[in-house]
A and B are shown apart, each in its own frame.
Chain A
Amino acid sequence: MRFLLVEDNASLAKAILDRLRLDGHVVDHAPDVQSAEDFAATTDYDLILLDIMLPDGDGRTFLKQHRDRQIETPVIVLTARSEVSDRVGVLDLGADDYITKPFDFSELEARCRAVLRRRGGGSSNERRFGNLCFDPMAGTLSIGDQTISLRNKELRLLEVFLSAPDRIFSKAKLVDRLFSYEEDVSENAIEVYVGRLRKHLVGSGVEIATVRGLGYRMSLQ
């Protein structure tokens, strides 16, 4: 996906860029309202991540102009404020959602997915591997003419495997990707989700192999 990140704090911006690129997204970074407008005017983005406090103005000003110009790109506001005071303002000005700093990237991803699903976009991001066709936005997996709805953890697990086919992922890594840091889970919990995903993948020509002592690997049969 193509993101525009509007954030004035250089180190946070770099961290978010690195983090989003790690998941294979394309991200442009605008440090202020002016350059954000320039970026938004010249490139089509799937989603804009907008900070509120910017050096040359308020992110809400950008939001308002953005909506006034009838640009439909969804916007998720990154706010550092208390939820009580800020919530109403940004949603009223046409933000699709907001997330409070510091945020969990899986929550950000979930919100992006929800926003894009609401906007009815997404099929452009379909991924194909073997016989399976995966739509991460809709959370569906199609094998031939059969479509299955995936639960969130299954979906994310599949996303992880598809991001690097034939690579071995350790259980520990998968736990990190699948569970929030708030949850105390044993690595064996992963086995449940791998098991479910395997069932869904029957007949797709794709398999998840257990590599003894190392983890799991997804590859074509």
Chain B
Amino acid sequence: MTRRAHVSGSIRRRLLLQLLGSAALLAAILFVTVLGFVRDVAEESHDSILFASATSIMDSVAVNAGEVSVDLPYAALSMLGNVSDDRVFYRVSRAGEVLTGYSDLPAGEATVRAGQPVFETLDYKGETIRMVTSSRRLSLNGAPTDIEVSVAQTQNGQAAILARLSRSALYLGIGFFVLSSALAIWSAQSSVRPLKSLAQAVSRRGPKDLRPVSRPVPSEMAPLVSSLNTFIDRLGVSLTRSEDFIAEAAHRVRTPLATVRTQAEITLRRVEKEENRGSLREMIRAIDETSRASGQLLDHAMVSFRTDSLERADIDLAELARELVERLRPVADLKDIDLHFDSSGTPRMSGDAILIQNAVRNILDNAIKYSPPERQVHIRVAGDGAQARVSIEDEAGGFGTTDTHALTERFVRGENTQGVVGSGLGLTIAREVAEAHGGTLTIETSKSGAGACVTLCFPSH
């Protein structure tokens, strides 16, 4: 009967996905930022070495006897070798005329002013080079002349460094993502935990536990819990009301029936005329049939309700059956039917005592009702630790050729029921109770062949 909830998404999963998404985005931003920063720093430091080299070459440019002379200092180029094994190019020119160095080194696009070096990335001989060009104004033979010094270096080493650094940045980003993910999982789980523990507390409750939920919950869940409590409250009220209603309805129907039946019995004692007596008997039978049917319908409703949410307790099947036998003995006595009770082993089981009682009573009721007077009914209870069994054997003639399985269907009655008041619900109730407990109901012809043997069999645990 329990309806599964309509599930759309999971808070935990949604939260987790959101947090993981944010972590991934942040990690990417971190990676890009660090990479850019590292690239800038690397370029800047390379530039400053290039510039230092250019400056040192520039410093070696001198005017000697009206000639510009360049005495290329060794250190100027070797300092570049410290950075990497990249090839170094240089050029010293005066007013567009190359004094020394690589004359085919491309000229920068920007115009160079004295004291303001220009850094450029260019292509040279199929390779990318970084080039600095600085200029200085010398006085040559009384006239100013511009000396330009360009120093360039290929970028392979630089690229390797950058690759290493970006790998580190990538590791940093991944590390950040992994750590954030772990935190995200933890936080998603911990924020769902109160919800989970509330759900467990509610689902662990017994079917009769209608106390309000009182465990402390986070403020966000308070409205949910208070609505839940309102619901529980209303359920309790409506259960009580429907139980009261059933009791009230039964009372309203059965009390007048009892009046009519009693009056009919009294009248039957007084009247002499055979046809009147016949009608009165018919009347009493109709009343019995009505009351029996209404009783069993109510019982059946109650049994269905209880089997939906089975309440289990430890039951001694022998004790339960013995009590029932004592309870029904006066009824059996009226027909001088002897009830023989016999138990062996340890017929213990776990189940709903009220349901089991109802099932056994229905079978025993049938046995007594359908037996001719002065017959025997045997009630045998047995248990072997794995199973608990109660079988009721009568001498009522058996069920004839009626399909024994069909007998446990609602409102189906056996062939021997002519003239006996009954509703056909008794065995249905017994079978439903057995099945709700994981047990079985079997109907067979008794060994002596004189009647039926109905057995209820329950697993012990």
Is the pair B285, A182 in contact by a Cβ cutoff of 8 Å?
yes
Q: Does any Cβ of B come within 8 Å of A2's Cβ? A: no
Q: Does any Cβ of A come within 8 Å of B421's Cβ? A: yes
Interface code B234-274, partner A: CB below 8 Å = 1, 0 otherwise?
Answer: 00000000010011101101111111111101101100101
| CB of A192 to closest CB in B, whole Å | 10
Residue with the greatest number of chain B CB neighbours at <10 A, chosen from A81, A86, A102, A170: A102
Residue with the greatest number of chain B CB neighbours at <10 A, chosen from A11, A84, A85, A110: A84
Interface code A136-176, partner B: CB below 8 Å = 1, 0 otherwise?
Answer: 00000000000000011100000000000000001011001
Is the pair B262, A105 in contact by a Cβ cutoff of 8 Å?
yes
State the CA gap A104–B272 with chains docked (Å). Answer: 21
Report A-chain residues with C-beta under 8 Å of the C-beta of B421: 182
Residues facing B in A1-59 (CB within 8 A) are 9, 11-12, 15-16, 18-19, 22, 53
State the CA gap A84–B298 with chains docked (Å). Answer: 9
Interface code A80-114, partner B: CB below 8 Å = 1, 0 otherwise?
Answer: 11111111100000000100111111110011011
Report B-chain residues with C-beta under 8 Å of the C-beta of A106: 334
Q: Does any Cβ of A come within 8 Å of B380's Cβ? A: no
Q: A182's contact among B254, B298, B420, by CB below 8 Å, is which?
A: B420
Report B-chain residues with C-beta under 8 Å of the C-beta of A85: 243, 246-247, 302
| CB of B171 to closest CB in A, whole Å | 72
A80-B254, A172-B277 as given contacts; A15 in contact with B243, CB under 8 Å: no
Interface code B350-369, partner A: CB below 8 Å = 1, 0 otherwise?
Answer: 00001101100100000001
| CB of A163 to closest CB in B, whole Å | 11
Report A-chain residues with C-beta under 8 Å of the C-beta of B253: 80
A101-B257, A172-B274 as given contacts; A83 in contact with B299, CB under 8 Å: yes
State the CA gap A114–B334 with chains docked (Å). Answer: 12
State the CA gap A106–B357 with chains docked (Å). Answer: 24
Residues facing A in B321-350 (CB within 8 A) are 327, 329-331, 333-336
Is the pair A110, B299 in contact by a Cβ cutoff of 8 Å?
no
Report B-chain residues with C-beta under 8 Å of the C-beta of A100: 254, 291, 295
Report A-chain residues with C-beta under 8 Å of the C-beta of B254: 80, 100-102
Q: A82's contact among B295, B329, B357, by CB below 8 Å, is which?
A: B295
| A53 nearest in chain B by CB position | B251
State the CA gap A160–B335 with chains docked (Å). Answer: 16
Is the pair B354, A84 in contact by a Cβ cutoff of 8 Å?
yes
Q: B295's contact among A19, A83, A107, A111, by CB below 8 Å, is which?
A: A83
State the CA gap A170–B274 with chains docked (Å). Answer: 11
State the CA gap A87–B324 with chains docked (Å). Answer: 11
Q: B354's contact among A9, A11, A18, A88, by CB below 8 Å, is which?
A: A88
Q: A102's contact among B268, B287, B298, by CB below 8 Å, is which?
A: B287
State the CA gap A82–B251 with chains docked (Å). Answer: 10
A19-B266, A82-B302, A83-B358 as given contacts; A152 in contact with B334, CB under 8 Å: yes
State the CA gap A11–B281 with chains docked (Å). Answer: 21
Residue with the greatest number of chain A CB neighbours at <10 A, chosen from B260, B331, B334, B357: B334
Residues facing B in A160-216 (CB within 8 A) are 170, 172-173, 176, 180-184
| CB of A11 to closest CB in B, whole Å | 5
A83-B361, A172-B274, A182-B369 as given contacts; A18 in contact with B266, CB under 8 Å: yes
Q: Does any Cβ of A come within 8 Å of B170's Cβ? A: no
Q: Does any Cβ of A come within 8 Å of B284's Cβ? A: yes
Is the pair B251, A80 in contact by a Cβ cutoff of 8 Å?
yes
Q: Which residues of A contact B (CB under 8 A)?
A: 9, 11-12, 15-16, 18-19, 22, 53, 78, 80-88, 97, 100-107, 110-111, 113-114, 151-153, 170, 172-173, 176, 180-184
Can you identify 7 A-B contacts, CB atoms within 8 angstroms? A18-B266, A84-B302, A85-B246, A102-B259, A102-B261, A102-B287, A152-B334
Nearest 7 pairs of A and B residues by beta carbon: A102-B258, A15-B262, A110-B330, A82-B298, A80-B254, A101-B258, A80-B251
